[in-house]
Structure formats: C-alpha cells, structure tokens
Amino acid sequence: MNDDVIVIGGGLAGLTAASLLAKRGLQVTVIDKSYNPGGSCGTFKRDGAIFDQGSSMLFGFGEHGFNAHRFVFNCLEEPIDVIKNRILYCVTFEGHRIHFYDDIEKFIVELSAVFPSQKRNIARFYHDMRKIYQHVMVENPNYASADEADRKSSLKSLLRHPVSYARFLSYLNKSAKQLLQKYFDDPEIFKFFDKLTSSYCYATVEESPAILAAVMFVDNHVGGSYYPAGSTVYLPGKLEKVIEEHGGTMIGEKEVVSILFENGKPVGVELDDKRKLYAETIVYSGTVWNLYGKLIPSKETTADRIAWAQNLVPTFPSVILYAVVDKEVIPEDTEVVELLVGNPNAVDESEVTAYIHSIDDKTLCSENQHVIMAIGPSLETWEGLTKRQYEAKKKKEEERLLSVLENRFPGIKKHVQHVEISSPRTIERYTMKNGGAVAGPKQMLGQHMFKRLHIRSEWDTLFCCGESTVMGTGTPTVTTSAISAANAVLKKKGLKPFVYEPDRKQYVRIVDAPYTADRLFEGYLDEEKKIMREASRCLFCEHPLCSEGLHFDIRGIMRRVNVGNFTGAWNLASDYAGESALIAACQQRCAQNGLQGKPVEIVEVIHYLKKRGENRGLKPNL
C-alpha cells in the first residue's frame, strides 16, 4: 500500500512538515540516515552528560515577533517547555563584552557605549528596522516562505503600511553593507555587523542580502532566544511523537539513494537496503547538492539544473568541540551563548561561538560540571587524509579551539573532564551536510531568496523544505519552509492549510531558569514520570550492547519514552513485549551497568508499555 507522503530527511524541517501533514490525517513515512531524528537539532550523551549536536540557540518560540516554532506547536496541539535565555548572547569584540538584550532600547545603549560617535545613528537604524519589522512581519503573521506567500494577505499588509513595504522590498537585491552605509560612517562598526551577519547567516555584510539582515538584526531582540527544557532532544522528539500518534512511520538508519520516477514524475524512493517505497507526494528536506547530485537521476532533469545546483557556494565547513569542564572554571557572569571574536578584520578560524546551556539547564550534566559546545569555521583540508593524519588534524583543532576558549575562560584547559571534536567529515557523516557546511548554501547576494530551491519543484509530486530553500539558514526559517511545504501539499490535496489564528490555544510554556531535574516531566502522572525518568537514563548508545544482534530497538524505545511518546515506543516494543527472558538479558548488557553499577530498568519500561498498550486496546505492531 502506498503512503500519501514520503519525507526524505528527519531533520527539523522534515519532521515539522511530516508532523503537520500527519496531524491533517495523511499517511506519512519519514526516512532518515541517522538512528536519532533531528539532524543538527539532535543530542548525544557521554557518561551521562548531554550534548547538543549543533542547533541549540533557538529562536521563534517567543510570544512576540516571528515565532514559527510556537505556531507549529500550537497547530500540533503538542505541549513543550522552553527556557528563555536571559539575554540573546554576548559578543566579545575588541575588548568589549556587548550584551544582546531582548530589550532593544537597552541594547542600543550598550552598543552606543562601544561606538559613541555612532550613538544617534545606532538608535535611528534600529528604530527604523524595528518599525519595518513590526509592519511587515508581526502585525499580520504569515508563516509562509516568500515563494508561497498568500497574495491576499500580502496585499492587505501592503495597503496598511505601503511605505514600510516599499522600503522592505527595496532591500531585496541590496547588500547589508549598502543598507548600513545609509546610517553609519565608522569603519569599525561595519566590522561589528560583519560578525553579526556571519553568525546569523554565515556571510559578511557585503555578501548578506539587506532584506534578510534587516529582519535578523531586529527579530532576535523582539522574540528572544530559547532552549528546550531538558535538552534539544525534546524538539525533534515531540515532532516525532505527533507523527507516530497520528499513524505515521519513522524509518531510521536507512538512506534514500534514489528518487524513483514514472512517466517523468517522482513516485517513490529507493533505500540503501534495496527497498522501494511509493507515495503520491514526496517532501525532500536535504541539501540541494544531494538532490541534484545523487537522488534525481540525471536523465530526469537537465544539465543546466545540475550545474546550477553544484555551483551554489556553500557556507564554511564547521568544526565543533564538545567538552565537559569543571564548573568552577566558568565565571558567574558568563552568558549561555558567547560569540568570541578573535580577528575583527575578517571571518576566520578565530571566530568561535560557545554554547553553555548548562548554566540555565541543570539537567544536562552533574552539579559540579558544565557542558560546552564550541563551533566555528574550519579552513583546513579534511579530504584525502590517512587515518593517522586525520586524527592528528582533529587533535590540532581540539588544541586550537581550547586555546580560543582559554582566552575567555583562563585555566579551562586544566579543567577539562572530557573533550572530543566533530570535524566537517563527522558532520557530513551524521547529517549528510555536504563538506560539513552546517548551513547549506550561503545566503548571499546572487543565490538568495528566489534563486534557491523553491518549495515547489519542477514536478508537482516533489516538494522541498530546509536550509537550501528560499528561507535559508536558521531554525525558524527551516521551520517556516516546512510549514510552507506542508501547506502546499495540503492545498494540492484539497485539505485545510495551517494558518495563523489569533485565538489559538497556546502550547508553548516558558519555564524559569535554572531548570532542574526535579522539574522534568511536569504535567505527567506519577507512574508516567517514574518510567520517563528511568528511560532518560539511557545513553542512546551509537552501538548499543543491550540489543546487539537483535532487531529490537531498545535505544529508540527509551528515547521515545523519555519525551512522552508512548505510542511510538509501544510500536517498537510490542513485538518483544512477551519475551521476558530476552528483555532481562538485554538489561544485563546495558552500558549503565559498567558506568553507574545499575542498568536502565528495561524490563520495567517494557512491562509498563505492555500494560499501557493493553489498557488502551493497542494492538502489537505486526
């Protein structure tokens, strides 16, 4: 039997599109190469410490501004708790620590103290950008990419604020530098804004389109930045929960190697295990290079289209350092996100962003620790290396990134309990981001907005979402592209699209920091809490000993129970629920036995799922 929709890629965009489509009653299957959904927005554990793989400073959950994530969770009617960062982040720039407050007036004062000669210009610039942002983005919320925008809604907004719209559209083919030149005359402040655009969209002010920069400079202040309480596992986990509760299927650890065509149209996919799956519609959420360089057979497209895709300039490859450090080495005045600028004159390897979410979320590690994820560009060559050369290069990068952190946190090298490096090759292996370019094609003039992948492809059965599309880089933007893709599919099928409704019930709850382990699973029954806490002890091992040699996805069961996805967990557990001896043997092999002297109570979790399934009349997933 064919599905309604196959989604290629279980990153944030793919999961968002799939969950919205499943919510509307479509039969959806999501296929992802990884064993964990989420792509860059995923987690892994080391001896109990939780690390975010990549995306961890999340915008779009706020009560104000362009809040695409809040819109999605409200549409899905799925509760999620998020911590609001006390400030957006702090930038260390030429000896100054510049705090990005959500109060834009307070930020203007902060920035003016660094550039006193530009005080009036700074105020004028941010007030003008905020006015345009308010008129164009906020007053008439429309969670659609530019290529899918509703004409009636856009016309309504245009007629209400014609001057703001005209100014906004005039930025379409101008650079951020051209926009800034209308306000500033100090060369130093251009260097500062260079760092902002390189952080937001991996491009300099000369490369960045003004139309995007104008929004980004203001949006983050209005909406604020957030972190899912308990780690980012809850963001993709909740989306997966909605998919499976509505009859959808998640296929992990399988790669789509080709899109199947019949009569000149995409009709299905072939997996790396030779299986062929078919659907009326396909939603692709990967990179443009993989789409036209691998998945679409060359005979089904044109040489010009393939060349266009391959010639798109990627963002810098990235390297990521993950570390557990002694709590004492991180000063009390440290912000959750710190952008460390080593060279104000250029975007190079000295520019590192450090994320220390354990400051606000105490569930990520033990009380005497902090977890750090530090990410920056890598200008090294990573291909064609022997294993020894590769490991030596990783060690060199580890030392380099620790030295950058040492400048901000003196003595940190002596306080490292665990450290590891994710190279561009690692990033590509786990997320399929070509060359480790974490943000896809660079969002720069010449390949911005409508010059990228559109939501609707050349074929009416293939839709696209993700960072290669019109919206580009960032979690709110890929989420918006997913909303647009889902709505395009729904319109094609004659179903109701998801649109903004001012009176819609709110499902995003902002919780106070510091967030502690005793507050996890608030709102669940005591028995559910007990089982969820036990499942959360699972290390989600890449090569789990507990299920070695079996097709029993204990890791996947525990991950689902951890986020309250009991339906999805039961679907995986039901085939083995009656095999008590086998389950007990799996528990004895649990990696926590060696680390904590106490295994995850797999037997108890499976027994609970069996009882819960029987009480709800759920049948085994045969």
What are 89-143's pLDDT values in tens digits? 899 998 899 999 989 999 999 999 999 999 999 999 999 999 998 888 887 788 9
pLDDT digits (tens, 9 = 90+) for 152-187: 777 777 778 888 888 888 888 899 999 999 999 999
Question: In CATH, which of 3.40.980.10, 1.10.1060.10, 1.10.10.10, 3.30.70.100 is domain 520-615?
Answer: 1.10.1060.10
What number is the average pLDDT over the span 421-437?
94
What number is the average pLDDT over the span 407-412?
96
- Do the beta carbons of residue 449 and residue 146 sit within 8 Å? yes
pLDDT at 342: 83
C-beta neighbour count of 165 within 10 angstroms: 18
DSSP secondary structure of 175-230? BHHHHHHTT---HHHHHHHHHHHHHHHS--TTTSBHHHHHHHHHHHHHH-EEEETT
- Do the beta carbons of residue 336 and residue 360 sit within 8 Å? yes
Stronger pLDDT, 520 or 195, i.e. the higher one: 520
* Beta-sheet pairing, 276-284 with 3-8: parallel
At 250, list the tokens: 């998640």
pLDDT at 622: 42
Most confident of 51-55, 433-437, 467-471, 531-535: 531-535
Question: Above 60 in pLDDT, residue 289?
Answer: yes
- Do the beta carbons of residue 400 and residue 323 sit within 8 Å? no
Question: Above 50 in pLDDT, residue 436?
Answer: yes
Question: Above 90 in pLDDT, residue 322?
Answer: yes
Banded pLDDT at 604 (limits 50, 70, 90): very high
Banded pLDDT at 215 (limits 50, 70, 90): confident
Question: Above 80 in pLDDT, residue 618?
Answer: no
What is the C-alpha to C-alpha distance for residues 171 and 179, in angstroms, rounded to an integer? 8
C-alpha pair distances (Å), 47 with each of 540, 592, 596: 11, 9, 9
pLDDT at 621: 52
The mean pLDDT value of the chain amounts to 93
Three-state helix/strand/coil letters over 568-595: HHHHHHHHHCCCHHHHHHHHHCCCHHHH
Banded pLDDT at 280 (limits 50, 70, 90): very high
Stronger pLDDT, 351 or 291, i.e. the higher one: 291
Residue 15 CA, chain-centre distance (Å), reads 11
pLDDT digits (tens, 9 = 90+) for 39-70: 999 899 998 899 999 888 888 999 888 899 99
For the chain, percent of residues with pLDDT exceeding 90: 76
Q: Could you tell me the residue ranges of all domains in the chain?
A: 3-45+53-83+230-312+439-447+456-492, 88-140+147-223, 318-435, 520-615
| Token pair 């665990």 in the structure block, residue | 418
Q: Specify burial of residue 311 (Cβ count, 10 A radius: 0-12, 13-18, 19+).
A: exposed
Question: Above 80 in pLDDT, residue 200?
Answer: no
pLDDT at 619: 64
What is the C-alpha to C-alpha distance for residues 453 and 488, in angstroms, rounded to an integer? 15
Q: Which CATH superfamily is domain 3-45+53-83+230-312+439-447+456-492 in?
A: FAD/NAD(P)-binding domain (3.50.50.60)
| Token pair 């990033």 in the structure block, residue | 427
- Do the beta carbons of residue 201 and residue 211 sit within 8 Å? no
pLDDT at 347: 75
pLDDT digits (tens, 9 = 90+) for 537-590: 999 999 999 999 888 999 999 999 999 999 999 999 998 888 999 999 999 999
- Calculate Rg over the CA atoms of the chain: 24
What number is the average pLDDT over the span 232-252?
97
pLDDT at 620: 57
For the chain, percent of residues with pLDDT exceeding 70: 99
What number is the average pLDDT over the span 420-425?
96
Q: Specify burial of residue 293 (Cβ count, 10 A radius: 0-12, 13-18, 19+).
A: middle
| Token pair 């064919």 in the structure block, residue | 2
